[in-house]
């Protein structure tokens, strides 16, 4: 650790930690980040840039870092890319790797992009990869992705656990620097429930980087420790370190992502890896500080060029000397503070070159630098940097009185630290839709009017100076508690520190005329956006900052332009002769820093991602090799193969089993709604198209439901169980929406009706027994019911028992055969299924699945709403107009279906289709056309909705909607297919037993 | 995630609610005398208000009740919620 100072810093010098970076072993100290540990080992080259593959070092010291992205790998399933080395805490045995390089960081083939860079200007992707379209997917994008890419995702499922927690509090304080700590302390004093969160491992914010600051007469970090101890001792206060407030959502809903195990060498089994906190706070205090801006000059991205505040942090917090011979480039007083502290690490400060003129340089840092006898050069600028993988020198320029720049010396140095002033971190304020206003004096956008119950405090609203920031925080904390209805007063706090302000120099540094074109000065380091790109975008007519952002991609990388935003604005302002405030800001969006998918998914993965609904026959079907399909959340058995049967063979056998003897089918998934009340019949009269008042008790009827636009919405059998009680069935998929629609009309349109509805889908299990032998099967098990055709005719309902279980027996058929649907309380569903199966053995009863059910009903022309209808078919189009109660004054859809367009003769109507070749099964969805061999374009007059091979009929059958279909009976139409037209004959939708002889037995 | 005030249950988080479109769109109850224009108005034509807007919501994962709200479409925020049958007047909000 050649660059480690001998004393100082917050690292634990007694705890050495071994880790590897790009396969090489290094030693760091407990308390180090990967960045500070690498710098302590003299390693500055950390990665390659996104577009040009330029060598990159460490620019910052926290979440603002755009360059030093690394991948940390624990094992094949735990490989996390795109982590900022400045935030990664090292642990014993950590394996970290650089990104964007091949074969090695020092020699990277992709760096050829740097040589080709004249061909990679702003908008390059937009301009170049336009044509041909298919090349985009096949050629360009994979190549670009392979060449660029930000890290590699793990290939195995994430084995870790992620927790989520909802929590309420009176005051949420974001940021535990001086203002945030003071705010939390003041708010806590009121008795408020307070949450204090900070993205860093250690709390203290800017104070962690101070050498000599004091608060209330104590060394600043002693005051921090004292304040935190008292907050942690308060049961109403929750202190969350390593926790990023990443998003500010409406009504003070703030998302926090807490990382619990990322910093540990071995992760305890009882801890989730991360926890997503969803905080609902009465009041929010944003004490998010600020981020130092880079200066923009050619070569400002070469490893060894670093933010001054970051260099100061490495010196004071981590005991790391970032260079031996350092040039300081100052655009603000903060650079002087850094120069003084860097010189105290034993490094040589070769020069402090200040871009400002003599008279405007002032402040405590300047005074300290002067008394430390550091060499200060005002009116200076940087014309370039020498060195490739590491800084070797700073090429100075001198700004004359006329503003012209002349070349100066090259200062030999291994490190350049720079400060362009600070940008207050207004991200969360802006996410909360708070307004920003530009402060000309400070050169910063500051929080203005708020929309949410939130307030900013300290540096994040432009209040600089330790004492001022502390008291601003305390005042904000007390005010937040008061706004939440609690009372407290903030006691004034005293402090001393160097206190550089936040003003600085947004935009590019002055350059020699003509220098800018050939050399790259980076604005957005992560997306490799240079001053030239921004200038080019403006030359090409992009004026709005939002357009410039998208065209150049400045601010669009994973760091969302934390260090680049204001500089980009400064350049745009300067080149377009606008004031910075006029250019305006781009929108801040969540997340502040990237959040893992794991945190968002939480427990909602695998089996817990979506609930699974299982029918009573589920286990029985599984045991017999049943093949399932998903219908909504339901698992339904599609077919029950025997031996090596494929689906066609199984369905063929199942259909014939039903037609020739008897079959059984689990119909429990049907939606069921109980409609009760003295106006139940009147409600159904108004709701369904049918007439219900005439339906007798223990009788059932097939109902059609339309929407008010007159189109079919759902269907199902409805049973009248009593004068004031109906059992309504719906389609499997329609249960919830029909229930919601009923509630809508009951609650809003027909408040005059006395009616209540209850969903009973889960309360009833249903087994359909269908086939000529159905009655004989039932006779073996049903007691107390006369099953004769006279006593229980088609659509009749009876109540009885099976093995003592109460059953409701409905004589209904969705197959065209003699059929019954047996309803039992759901907990008896499995018993019922097994009882029917046992009773059916002597008739070789065939359990059948949804596929055979579909074929059997199609043979009879029974529609499936949602398959044969699509929301644009009226009951007449679907061939079920007979269901409409013609004498009713009103029902849902009555007026709608009277519209002329809905009664036009040429509407698409449901018809049957028979192929000329009986072996040909049409494709569902295939288009129907009038003429064969027609010229393109041609009219499509309909499409196939259902199509099967019918075992019963020994040929294919299909249903289709066809314009004026019922007037085209026996005509030949054509189904257009890629392999050629298929001629079809238009027929009735009822292919089997049109007289219904098999039903009425 | 908004906090929405159900007039029956109180303040609850947005995922408990479902949006129900524009409020106070009366369903023509006499099909025989409903004109084509009235029908189209009811079925298909809705306001696209910038600002305060009366709309229907349902506390679908709560009490199940429909209610009405006045919401500012420029901010997403609710101004007030009220029960079916009520109709509070507010300056700047359409009928
Ligand atoms: Zn409610």
* Min Cα separation A572/chain B (Å): 30
Query: How many CB pairs below 8 Å do chains A and B form together?
Result: 54
Kindly report the length of chain B. 95
Residue A933's pLDDT is what?
Answer: 79
Residue A315's pLDDT is what?
Answer: 97
How does A550-564 read in b/e, with b if 16+ C-beta sit within 10 Å?
Answer: bbbbbbbbbbbbbbb
DSSP type of residue A746: I
- CA–CA gap between residue A339 and residue A308 (Å, rounded): 8
Beta strands in A771-897 (DSSP E): 782-783, 797-802, 805-810, 819-825, 846-847
B82 alpha carbon – ligand 1 mean position (Å): 11
Kindly report the length of chain A. 1001
Residue A99's pLDDT is what?
Answer: 86
Residue A26 has pLDDT above 60, yes or no: yes
Question: Do B26 and B64 contact (CB within 8 A), yes or no?
Answer: no
Residue A470's pLDDT is what?
Answer: 97
Q: Which residues of chain B have pLDDT under 70?
A: 95
- For chain B, domain boundaries: 3-83
Secondary-structure class of domain A671-759 per CATH: alpha beta
pLDDT tens-digit profile of A917-965? 999 999 999 999 998 878 888 899 999 999 999 999 999 999 999 999 9
Residue A138's pLDDT is what?
Answer: 58
Task: Assign domain A618-669+763-857 one CATH number from 3.30.1360.120, 3.40.50.720, 3.20.20.70, 3.40.50.12280.
Answer: 3.30.1360.120
User: Which of A135-144, A333-342, A889-898, B78-87 comes out lowest in average pLDDT?
Assistant: A135-144
Determine the residue of chain B that is closest to A890 in CA distance. Answer: B31
Between strands A94-98 and A69-75, the pairing is antiparallel
ipTM value greater than 0.95: yes
User: Which of A99-108, A347-356, A537-546, A567-576 comes out lowest in average pLDDT?
Assistant: A99-108
* Min Cα separation A249/chain B (Å): 6
Residue A135 has pLDDT above 80, yes or no: no
- Using alpha carbons, list the distances in angstroms from residue A892 to A648, A687, A690, A880, A975: 41, 5, 10, 16, 36
Which of these, A176, A650, A216, A264, lies nearest to A457 by C-alpha position? Answer: A176
Reply yes or no: is the peptide bond before residue A591 cis, omega within 30 of 0: yes
A749 alpha carbon – ligand 1 mean position (Å): 19
Which of these, A790, A767, A965, A978, lies nearest to A878 by C-alpha position? Answer: A965
pLDDT tens-digit profile of A628-682? 999 999 999 999 999 999 999 999 999 999 999 999 999 999 999 999 999 999 9
pLDDT tens-digit profile of A596-613? 999 999 999 988 999 999
Tokens of A802: 């099976």
Interface test with A, best of B2, B23, B27, B34 (most A CBs within 10 A): B27
Matching fold, domains A162-289+424-496 and A294-420? yes
Q: State the CB neighbour count (10 A cutoff) for residue B15.
A: 11
Residue A518 has pLDDT above 60, yes or no: no
Average pLDDT over residues A798-818: 96
Residue A354's pLDDT is what?
Answer: 95
- CA–CA gap between residue A433 and residue A589 (Å, rounded): 10
User: Which of A115-119, A794-798, A855-859 comes out lowest in average pLDDT?
Assistant: A115-119
Are A890 and B31 a contacting pair at CB < 8 A? yes
Residues in B closer than 8 angstroms to A890, CB to CB, are 29-31
Residue A612's pLDDT is what?
Answer: 94
Fold of the domain spanning A294-420:
FAD/NAD(P)-binding domain (3.50.50)
Q: Which residues pair with A329 in a beta bridge?
A: A353, A418
Question: Do A841 and A969 contact (CB within 8 A), yes or no?
Answer: no
pLDDT tens-digit profile of A453-510? 999 999 999 999 999 999 999 999 999 999 999 988 888 999 988 777 788 878 888 8
At residue A102 the predicted structure's pLDDT band, cuts being 50, 70 and 90, is: low
Residue A149 has pLDDT above 80, yes or no: no
- CA–CA gap between residue A206 and residue A175 (Å, rounded): 10
Does domain B3-83 bear CATH number 3.30.2270.10?
yes
| A232 contacts: CB under 8 Å, gap ≥ 6 | A239
What's the CATH code, domain A162-289+424-496? 3.50.50.60
Residues in B closer than 8 angstroms to A751, CB to CB, are 84-85
Radius of gyration for the alpha carbons in chain A, expressed in angstroms and rounded? 38
Phi, psi of A101 (to 5 degrees): -140, 145
Residue A140's pLDDT is what?
Answer: 55
Determine the residue of chain B that is closest to A434 in CA distance. Answer: B75
Helix (H, G, I), strand (E, B) or coil at A370: helix
Residue A584 has pLDDT above 90, yes or no: no
Residues in B closer than 8 angstroms to A278, CB to CB, are 1
- For chain A, domain boundaries: 1-158, 162-289+424-496, 294-420, 505-603, 618-669+763-857, 671-759, 904-994
* Min Cα separation A892/chain B (Å): 10
Closest to B84 (Cβ–Cβ): which among A278, A280, A747?
A: A747
Which of these, A303, A308, A351, lies nearest to A326 by C-alpha position? Answer: A351
| A571 contacts: CB under 8 Å, gap ≥ 6 | A296, A507, A508, A523, A531, A534, A535
Residue A505's pLDDT is what?
Answer: 79
pLDDT tens-digit profile of A760-796? 999 999 999 999 999 999 999 999 999 999 999 999 9
pLDDT tens-digit profile of A224-259? 999 999 999 999 999 999 999 999 999 999 999 999
Helix (H, G, I), strand (E, B) or coil at A744: helix
Residues in A closer than 8 angstroms to B77, CB to CB, are 250
pLDDT tens-digit profile of A308-333? 999 999 999 999 999 999 999 999 98
Residue A359 has pLDDT above 90, yes or no: no
Residue A706 has pLDDT above 70, yes or no: yes
Are B20 and A896 a contacting pair at CB < 8 A? no
- CA–CA gap between residue A277 and residue A167 (Å, rounded): 7
Q: Taking chain B, what is the end-to-end CA distance rounded to the nearest angstrom?
A: 28
Beta strands in A113-189 (DSSP E): 162-174
Residue A847 has pLDDT above 80, yes or no: yes
DSSP string, A704-728: EEE-TTS-EEEEEEEEEEETTEEEE
Secondary-structure class of domain A904-994 per CATH: mainly beta
Rounded to an integer, what is the distance from CA A360 to the centroid of its chain?
A: 48
Are B31 and A889 a contacting pair at CB < 8 A? yes
């Amino acid at each position: 650790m050649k660059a480690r100072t001998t004393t100082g810093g917050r690292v634990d010098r007694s705890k050495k930690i071994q880790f590897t970076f790009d396969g090489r072993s290094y030693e760091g100290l407990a308390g180090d980040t990967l960045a500070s540990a690498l710098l302590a080992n003299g390693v500055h080259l950390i990665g390659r840039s996104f577009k040009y593959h330029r060598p990159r070092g460490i620019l910052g010291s926290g979440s603002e870092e755009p360059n030093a992205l690394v991948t940390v790998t624990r094992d094949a399933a735990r490989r996390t890319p795109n982590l900022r080395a400045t935030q990664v805490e090292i642990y014993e045995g950590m394996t970290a790797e650089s990104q964007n390089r091949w074969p090695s960081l020092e020699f990277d083939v992709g760096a050829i992009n740097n040589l080709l860079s004249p061909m990679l200007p702003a908008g390059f992707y937009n301009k170049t990869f336009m044509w041909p379209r298919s090349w985009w997917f096949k050629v360009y994008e994979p190549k670009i992705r392979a060449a660029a890419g930000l890290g590699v995702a793990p290939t195995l499922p994430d084995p870790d656990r992620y927790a989520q927690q909802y929590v309420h509090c009176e005051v949420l304080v974001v940021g535990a620097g001086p203002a945030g700590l003071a705010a939390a302390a003041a708010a806590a004093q009121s008795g408020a429930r307070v949450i204090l969160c900070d993205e860093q491992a250690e709390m203290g914010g800017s104070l962690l980087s101070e050498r000599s600051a004091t608060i209330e007469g104590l060394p600043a970090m002693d005051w921090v420790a004292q304040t935190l101890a008292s907050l942690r001792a308060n049961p109403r206060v929750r202190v969350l370190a390593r926790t990023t407030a990443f998003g500010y959502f409406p009504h003070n809903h703030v998302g926090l992502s807490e990382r619990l195990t990322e910093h540990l060498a071995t992760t305890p089994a009882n801890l989730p890896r991360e926890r997503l906190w969803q905080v609902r706070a009465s009041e929010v205090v944003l004490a998010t500080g600020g981020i130092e801006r880079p200066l923009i000059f050619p070569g400002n991205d070469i490893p060894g060029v670093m933010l001054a505040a970051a260099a100061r942090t490495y010196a004071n917090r981590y005991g790391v000397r970032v260079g031996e011979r350092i040039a300081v480039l100052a655009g603000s007083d903060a650079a002087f503070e850094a120069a003084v502290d860097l010189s105290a690490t034993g490094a040589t400060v070769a020069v402090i070159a200040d871009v400002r003129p003599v008279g405007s340089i002032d402040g405590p840092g300047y005074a300290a630098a002067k008394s430390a006898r550091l060499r200060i050069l005002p009116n200076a600028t940087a014309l370039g940097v020498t060195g490739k993988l590491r800084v070797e020198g700073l090429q100075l320029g001198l700004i004359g009185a006329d503003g012209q720049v002349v070349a100066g010396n090259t200062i030999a140095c291994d490190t350049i630290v720079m400060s362009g002033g600070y940008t207050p971190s207004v991200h969360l304020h802006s996410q909360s839709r708070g307004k920003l206003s530009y402060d000309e004096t400070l050169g910063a956008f500051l929080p203005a009017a708020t929309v949410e119950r939130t307030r900013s405090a300290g540096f994040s609203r432009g209040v600089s100076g330790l004492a001022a920031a502390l008291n601003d925080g305390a005042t904000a904390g007390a005010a937040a508690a008061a706004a939440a209805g609690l009372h407290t007063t903030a006691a004034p706090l005293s402090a001393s520190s160097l206190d550089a302000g936040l003003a600085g120099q947004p935009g590019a540094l002055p350059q020699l005329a003509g220098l800018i074109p050939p050399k790259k000065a980076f604005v957005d380091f992560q997306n490799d956006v240079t001053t030239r790109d921004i200038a080019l975008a403006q030359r090409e007519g992009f004026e709005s900052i939002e357009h410039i952002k998208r065209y150049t991609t400045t601010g669009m990388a994973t760091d969302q332009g934390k260090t680049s935003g204001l500089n980009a604005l400064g350049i745009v302002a300067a080149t377009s002769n606008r004031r910075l405030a006029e250019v305006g800001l781009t929108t801040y969006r969540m997340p502040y820093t990237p959040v893992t998918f794991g945190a968002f998914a939480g427990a909602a993965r695998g089996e817990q991602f979506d609930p699974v609904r299982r029918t009573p026959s589920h286990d029985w079907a599984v045991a017999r090799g049943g093949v399932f399909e998903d219908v909504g959340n339901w698992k339904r058995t599609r077919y029950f193969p025997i031996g090596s049967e494929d689906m066609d063979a199984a369905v063929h056998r199942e259909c014939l089993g039903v037609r020739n003897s008897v079959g059984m089918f689990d119909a429990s998934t049907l939606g069921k709604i109980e409609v009760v009340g003295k106006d139940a019949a009147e409600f159904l009269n108004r709701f369904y198209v049918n007439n219900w008042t005439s339906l007798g008790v223990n009788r059932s009827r097939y109902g059609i439901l339309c929407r008010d636009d007159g189109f079919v919405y759902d269907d199902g059998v409805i049973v009248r169980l009593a004068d004031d009680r109906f059992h309504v069935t719906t389609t499997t998929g329609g249960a919830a929406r029909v229930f919601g629609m009923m509630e809508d009309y009951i609650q809003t349109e027909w408040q005059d009706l006395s009616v209540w509805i209850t969903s009973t889908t889960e309360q009833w299990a249903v087994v359909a027994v269908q086939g000529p032998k159905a009655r004989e099967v039932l006779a073996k098990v049903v007691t107390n019911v006369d099953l004769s055709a006279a006593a229980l005719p088609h659509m009749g309902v009876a109540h009885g028992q099976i093995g003592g279980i109460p059953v409701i027996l409905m004589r209904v058929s969705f197959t065209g055969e003699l059929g019954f649907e047996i309803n039992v309380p759901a907990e008896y569903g499995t018993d019922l299924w097994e009882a029917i199966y046992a009773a059916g053995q002597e008739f070789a009863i065939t359990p059948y699945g949804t596929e055979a059910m579909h074929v059997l009903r199609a043979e009879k022309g029974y529609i499936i709403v949602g398959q044969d209808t699509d929301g644009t078919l009226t009951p007449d189009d679907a061939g079920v107009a007979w269901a409409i109660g013609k004498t009713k004054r009103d029902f849902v859809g009555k007026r709608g279906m009277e519209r002329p367009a809905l009664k036009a003769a040429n509407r698409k109507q449901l018809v049957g289709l028979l192929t000329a070749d009986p072996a040909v099964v049409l494709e569902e969805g295939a288009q129907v056309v009038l003429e064969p061999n027609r010229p393109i374009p041609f009219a499509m007059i309909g499409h196939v909705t259902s199509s099967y091979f019918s075992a019963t009929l020994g040929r294919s059958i299909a249903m289709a909607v066809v314009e004026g279909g019922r007037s085209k009976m026996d005509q030949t139409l054509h189904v257009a297919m890629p392999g050629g037209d298929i001629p079809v004959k238009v027929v009735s939708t009822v292919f089997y037993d049109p007289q219904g002889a098999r039903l009425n037995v | 995630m908004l906090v929405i005030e159900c007039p029956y249950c109180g303040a609850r988080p947005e995922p408990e609610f479902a949006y129900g479109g524009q409020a106070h769109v009366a369903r023509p109850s006499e099909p025989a005398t409903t004109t084509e224009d009235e029908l189209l108005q009811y079925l298909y034509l809705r306001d696209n208000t910038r600002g305060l807007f009366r709309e229907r919501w349902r506390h679908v994962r709560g009490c199940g009740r429909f209610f009405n709200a006045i919401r500012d479409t420029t901010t997403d925020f609710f101004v007030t919620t009220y029960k079916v049958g009520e109709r509070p007047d507010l300056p700047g909000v359409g009928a």
